[in-house]
Amino acid sequence: MHQCWRPVGVGCITAIIRQLLDFSRRRGPSLGPGDLRPLAGRTVELLASLARKRGVVIAVDAPEGAVTAQIDPGQIQQVLANLVVNGLQAMPSGGRLTLRLGRRYATPPSDVDGPAGEYATITVEDQGDGIVQEDLPRIFEPFFTTKDVGEGTGLGLSVAYGIVREHGGWIDVESTPGAGSRFTCFLRMASEEPLREALA
């Protein structure tokens, strides 16, 4: 179990400052119907160079047609980027990262206000180191990280979690040490009334 309170390089310090500003100044989402497919495509394009350097192949698995949810496109783009970067950092030996879009019937967890029903989903699945069971409850805490020095600030997942919660959704995590992790974002379908207030 590692914390981010340790000597870091200039690059890590810059990333921490940038993410702190994102975390502290993030505006509430401006929600409207949006297709998740182009967001996934842009995320892959933005991070293609980083993926190649790490020997990771990124694949997008999406159904035909639009996958539409009530979203703030810019904020969900940030969620996707944070989750993909998290997956890339978890694969020091390379591998395959899959970004999967779809729809799923689900019941929200007890701390999320919403009915059981169909939700738009974004899943980021890596073949990395995985997360030990005792760390899973803490992975969305600000500054908590299991990454090596210079790899993680402990804010990427926390920012992603906060954005998805403000969209009225949640993130589900499945992980097996040594076999990788799967992060699934559940977002309200575009046909539902937007939720404009942050959830506690």
pLDDT at residue 27 tops 70: no
Could you give all domains of the chain from N- to C-terminal order, each with its CATH number? Answer: 38-188 (3.30.565.10)
CB 97 within 8 A of CB 54: no
Q: What is the pLDDT of residues 41-87, one digit of tens each?
A: 999 999 999 999 999 999 999 998 889 999 999 999 999 999 999 99
Q: What is the pLDDT of residues 148-171, one digit of tens each?
A: 544 555 567 888 999 999 999 999
Asked whether 128 and 95 are in contact (CB, 8 A), the reply is yes
Closest to 71 measured CA to CA, from 158, 163, 197: 163
H helices then E strands: how many in the chain? 4, 7
Q: Could you tell me the pTM of the whole model?
A: 0.78
pLDDT at 146: 58
- Written as one letter, the residue type at 28 is G
Token duo for residue 20: 């702190």
Quickly list H helices, 59-126. Answer: 73-89
